[in-house]
Amino acid sequence: MNTDIEHGAGSTEQELEAGYNESRVYELGFHIDPELPQEEVKKTYQSLREKASTLVAEGEPQKIPLAYTISQKVQGGGRRDFDTAYFAWFAYEADIAEHDAVIEAAKAEARLIRFIDLRTDKETAIHAAEMHEIYAKMGEVQQTEGEVSDTELDAALKEAGV
């Protein structure tokens, strides 16, 4: 018997119902308000993360520059523009009911600027976490290599005859 369930137009009601209760892996990526204190950023991340019972991989909040300005309406008719944000993500395994609960929590979280929800698999999520660590280490190396004291800079300029 084939245990894979196709969820297309030709699926039977039993197949669709069985697939509804099936556990899948999802990834939630989100931007958190950059003006929040670090403690509030962590609380926001933790409150969303706690909604997912089976965590597969994660990337804790890091402040990043945004590729473009995100505008968000605020109560009172105004708007806020964001050029930076705390970015965080986590991958989790869940059935459809738990997945819906995580999405509803993200929608209700006022401190989020934006979020995206994707269906993925365990291997891809674990690979993303590994790559995240590698890029973080590369950034640390580049920062330490790029730091030069004024004394070292003056000595290099003298040697160059400038």
At 141-160, the pLDDT tens digits run 554 455 556 676 677 667 76
Q: pLDDT band at 6, cuts 50/70/90?
A: very low
**Secondary structure percentages of the chain, helix, strand, coil, to 5:** 45, 35, 25
**Ordered domains of the chain (ranges, CATH):** 21-121 (3.30.70.60)
Q: Spell out the residues 6+ positions from residue 125 whose beta carbon is closer than 8 angstroms to its own.
A: 25, 27, 56, 57, 91
- For the sheet with 112-120, list strands across it: 54-73, 79-94, 24-32, 112-120
pLDDT tens track for 29-38: 999 999 999 9
Contact 22, 95 (CB under 8 A): yes
What is the value of pTM for the model shown? 0.71
